[in-house]
Structure formats: structure tokens, C-alpha cells
Structure 1
Amino acid sequence: MGFPTGRCFFCYRSRRTFQLIFSRVATQVSDATVLSARKRTPALLPISVIVAARNEEKNLGRCLESLNSVGEIFVVDSFSTDCTAEIARSFAAHVVQFRYEGGWPKKRQWALDTLPRNYEWVLLLDADEVLTPELVSEIETAIRNPSVNGYYIGLDMYFLSRWLRHCGASFYKLSLFRRGKGHFECRTSNQDTSMCDMEVHEHVMVDGPTARLSERLVHRNVTSLSRYIQKHDQYSNWEARVWSGPSGGHAQLQPAFFGSQAQRRRWLKQKFFKVPGSSVWLFFYRYVLRLGFLDGVPGLIYCGFQAIQCFHVKAKLYEAKMAARALSADRCGPAAVDDTYVRH
């Protein structure tokens, strides 16, 4: 068919213009309807969800979309400079700003202590974690069990758009528990003023029996590798500080080989960390023994980053040790050197 000409062309353009206008109006109405429906969706899942976030505009929308059937959502922000807060409000979430000034508590524990939650159960999520419909159904059944106070939920890790089936990347964490029954361990002193305003490798400790869910969370982060490296550099600062300093007398999860997965991982980490060349052995363990090479290039990069992270922690521990020795020498002064000379 040829291109319309003359009067037919005018009719064609008019009809085409009308179609475009109608399409845009329909799209806007549809978006408004979806948003309105999202805000008035009945609470099929009577739980409170706390999402910790900071500059998570690329991840947060997908996370909150998976929570459209929960009772209430709190997004605990840290004064993000992107559209994190606006995205959270568009999903009818309560946005709460948290300013970290060092010490304890950090973000998630502060939220547990402060937020006025309306439901008995609380679910803790990161902004790059997503609930599947199957997990929602299992949670709905699990919270009816009166004999359990907390549940471990597994994570399926996606890295560089690929599901890491191997590498030892997947693990369980205690994310769902009754109100008043769970709290974070504290592994930092009250004088800690690190940049990590959120619990990094601190675990939730639950009073009472726990169980494990069979369905899993999806952990899919779409931020750049530059930000990934930056965040893990901060994590290595925190971890080096934890290994070298006191905890301030707070309760901690005790390492135990025959304990929970978190306790066993901590026990193994303490033992493995003392092995010479541990970062090299960690890469060998993840990439070879745990078949990380089957995860392609993303698996190689992930295993490499994990080994580098271990190396960074040990290097920063060495740096702190040298700084402490230098400080001790400065405090002792020349007299200490003279005294050593006399004794020998």
C-alpha cells in the first residue's frame, strides 16, 4: 500500500495524532490506576518490612514492587542524594531518615528500637533483595506457627546479571522474626565512628527457637563495579577494626562449628584467617573447589573480589599494628631505647 496523499493524508495524520494522544492519556491513567491499586492492596501478609537504603534508586523500585502485599513498609534512608526517597514514597512506604553519628546502635538496630510497627513479625531486607511469590506464600504460612520466633531465609546471589549457582555465594540469614524477640549483635565499640552506618556482618540474635524457610530471596544488585568496590573497601575498614579492637562489652554471636550456619561461618573464618596466604586459598576454594568457574566470567570476578577483600583486611590489620607500635614507641620516648641498650 502506498503512502496516503491529499485529503487522505490529512485524515491519516489526524487519526494518527488522535491515537498518540489517546495512547498517552491511557498510559497515564493506567499508571495512576496501578499506583492507586498498589496503595490500597489489602494486607495479605501481616508483617512489617524494614528496608535499609542509601542512594539505591536503581534497586529500590524492584524491591518494593515485590512487597505490594505486605502490611507496612519502612524505608530507612541515610539522606540519599538520588531519588531513593521519592521512589519509596511512590510505593506508599514510610520514609525515615537516619543520621549516623558513630557508636551503637547502627541503622537496622535503631529502626528496630524506634519505628512504631503495627505487626508482630518484622522482615529485614536490603534494597537489592526481592521477594518471590513463592516466598511470600511460605512466609504467610510460617508466621502462623506459634512455636517459632525467627526464620532463616536463603539468598540467591546475582552478580553482573548472572545467578551465581556456585562460588559459595549463597547463604542463609535470619531476616524474619517476632517483634521484641530479635536484635543485632554489636561488634563495634561505642567510640567507633566508621563510615559504615549500617550493620555489615553483624547477625540477628533471636530469643527462642528458629527454623529455616525453603524458598529464597533474590539478591540482584545493578550498581556499577566502581560502587561495589567502594562499598567493600569500607567493609574491609570495618572488618579490620573489628578484628583489632574491642567490642565494647556487647553480646555477640559466638563462633561454633556445630552451631548455626552463621556461627559455623564465623568459626571457619577465624581459623582460616590465620592461615598464611589465606586470600589465595580463599580464591582456590571458591573458584575451584566450589566450582566457581562454572559461573563464567562473573564467577571469576566475584571470586577474585572475595579474595582481594580478604587480602585488604589483612593488609589493614598489618597497617594498624604498625601504627600502634609507632604510637607506643613515641609514648615511651628515647628513654625506652636507652634502657634496652643498658640491659643488653
Structure 2
Amino acid sequence: MERIPVSVIVMTKNEESNIAKCLAGLTDFAEVFVVDSRSTDNTCAIAESYGAKVVQFDWNGRYPKKKQWCLKELPCTYPILLYVDADEEMSPELAEEIRACLPKFSQGYGGAFVGFDYVFAGKKLAYGHRVFKLVLVHQASSEFLDYDDLDAANMWEVEGHYQPAIKGRTFALKHRMLHDDHDSLYHYFDKHNRYSDWEAQLRSKGLMNDPREANLGLRSMMKKVLDNLPFKPLISFLHSYILKFGFLDGAAGFHYAMARATYYWQIGLKMDELAARKQTKLVRPGVVTARPATKESAT
């Protein structure tokens, strides 16, 4: 059978623990780019051994960031692009569903959402909160928006947790991709600590959930409702652990729900910190500010 006429984009930086399993699931696709950010491990060598086209990306600290740069600058052979993270794994069923859905892109559709199964604390979760990402896109119909986030703490080169803007309709695929990060939980929490810095900054500016982003209808509405509710960490825990039956995943389901709640708790706390900094000029530890001169000290 002919390979699937889609250009796959895998973005990497020091992903030697993940990249082999990722690329092993992409062999049915006609073109695979690994867009690397000067990895110092064996990521690039492994990618080349799988026949991927390795391209280096050097971020200049401005826009475009990495996803948008790939969208506009990579010499892709095919008009349909698939974004895959290095810690994600394609299934044969999803690959064939992608092959079958390609005619939709000539019928007014600009992108497709893919759902994800998560491995957390060593277990593949069957329940709990589910993530959908718009990762299959028509190159000419897609754009990753500039979010005015370059001043966010611990800013990095890849766009944050938001969907691209799409010209045309979107649809959702039935089969899922697997998210299985082979790095440690330290890596997971370190990464989400940076994500929460970014999200707190954007929420403080009122910039989250740009209406130009593509979103699944009901999920988009639920996201807006959740964003405006008080006690968001508690609600997110109950949503994942109780309403989405996360308790059926045992200890891993509990830990995943707690991790999600902790993420939102971090965002709220960091937003409070940002608000306080706007109201009060913070003094760095160990720095003594001069007091205004009084009559006594001036004489």
C-alpha cells in the first residue's frame, strides 16, 4: 500500500528517550520532518536512522515560534500536515483513519482534532480528563496566533497550549494517539511548572482562549464555563476523578487528577503574584531602598 500523503512534523530537543517509539509509528507516512532545537543527546542520530528529515530550528526570541515557523518555512511535499510531539505514539488504526479522511480537506475542511490516551505514573489511563488537539491541518488554511507572550516567565520557543486558527470547518477523528513520556515525573512537573508560568501571564492579560482559535463545540463551551468558576483546582479534580470516572484507574487516576488540580492551583497563585506586582513595587531580597530625606537627616 502507498504511504499516506501527509507531511509529519515532530519537534524535538533532547528527546532520545522518546523519539524512537514516536518515529516507529510514523513509517506509513510519506514524509517525516524532525525539527530539532540543537539537541545535545542522540535525538538527531536516532531520527536519521528512521529516515526522518532532520532540520535545525534556532529561535531568535521573537515570532514566529516553532510551530508557526514549521508551518510556513518547511519545504513540505504535501499540503496536509500532522504535528506529533516526540512523546506521542501513532496507532495503525489512527494512521489508516487519517488516510481515509484526507478527501475532506478538499471539501471545505481545514483541520482535524485528535484525542489522546495518557500514560501517567506507569499506567495507561482509561478514564479521567481527555485532551483533544488540532494536529492534522491544511497548511494553507492554518495559522498559530501570536499571543503577546514573549515577556512571560520562563518563556520557550514552542507555542503554548492553544489551538491554531483554521480557515474552514474542523472535524474530530475517532481513533486516539498515545501520550507516553518516557522521562521521569520530575520532567513532567518541571514542564508543567513552566506551562503554568505562561498561562498565568496570559490569563492576567485576558488573552487566553482567543475566539479565532479552532475548538470543538461542546468542549469549547465547557472550557469557558470552567474558566469562570471559582475553586477551579477543586472543580478540575472532581471533574477528572469523579465525573469522568478517574477513580476506576486506581492510584494512577487519583494522581493524574491531583496533578491537573495542582496545575490550576499554580496558575491561580501565580496570577495573584502578578497582580500584587502591579500594585506594589517589589524589593529584591537583600536590596535596601533609600528613605526620603527628613529635616533631621538633611541637616
TM norm structure 2? 0.86
Return the letter of the residue paired with 1:91.
Answer: Y
Compare relative contact order (CA 8 Å, sep 6+) and give the higher one, 1 or 2. 2
Q: Tell whether 2:171 aligns with 1:214.
A: no
The offset of 1:191, in angstroms, is 4.8
Instruction: Identify unmatched segments of 5+ residues in structure 1.
Output: 1-41, 336-344
> Does the aligned pair in 2 maintain the 1:152–1:174 contact within 8 Å?
yes
Aligned to 2:237: 283
1:91 aligns with 2:45: no
Aligned equivalents of 1:88, 1:69: Cα separation in 2: 15
SS of the residue 1:113 aligns to: helix
Separation in 1 of the partners of 2:216 and 2:120? Answer: 29
Instruction: Deviation per CA, 1:110-157: give whole Å up to 9, x if none.
Output: 111111111121001111111111111111111123212221111112
Q: Which runs of 4+ in 1 moved over 6 A?
A: none
Cα 1:259/1:251, change in 2 over 3 Å: closer
Percent identity of equivalent pairs = 32
Q: Is the 8 A contact 1:181 1:206 kept in 2?
A: yes
In structure 2, C-alpha distance between the alignment counterparts of 1:122 and 1:188, rounded to whole Å = 25
Please say if residues 155 and 171 of structure 1, whose CA atoms lie closer than 8 Å, have aligned partners that are also in contact. yes
Letter in 2 for 1:267: K
Q: Does 1:154 align with 2:111?
A: no
Matches within 5 A, 1:127-146: 127-145=86-104, 146=106
From the superposition, tell whether residues 190 and 278 of structure 1 become closer, same or farther in structure 2 (CA, over 3 Å).
Answer: closer
Q: Cα–Cα, structure 1 residues 294 and 259, in superposed 2: closer, same or farther, change >3 Å? A: closer
Partner of 1:293: 247
Segments of 5+ residues of structure 2 without an aligned counterpart are 284-289, 293-299
Structure 2 residue identity aligned to 1:188: D
Query: Taking structure 1 as reference, are residues 317 and 243 closer, same or farther at Cα in structure 2, changes over 3 Å only?
Result: same
Moved more, 185-194 or 199-208: 185-194
The alpha carbon displacement at 1:259 in A equals: 5.9
Give the structure with the higher percent helix.
Answer: 1
Distance in 1 between residues matched to 2:187 and 2:47, nearest whole Å: 21
The whole-number CA distance in structure 1 between the counterparts of 2:132 and 2:101 is 16
- The one-letter code matched in structure 1 to 2:259 is F
Matched positions, count: 284
Per-residue CA distance 1:175-232 (angstroms, 9 max, x = gap): 1121211112332345557432212212122111222211111111121000101000
Question: For residues 78-227 of structure 1, what are the structure 2 equivalents within 5 Å?
Answer: 78-145=37-104, 146-147=106-107, 148-168=109-129, 170-189=130-149, 191-192=151-152, 194-227=154-187
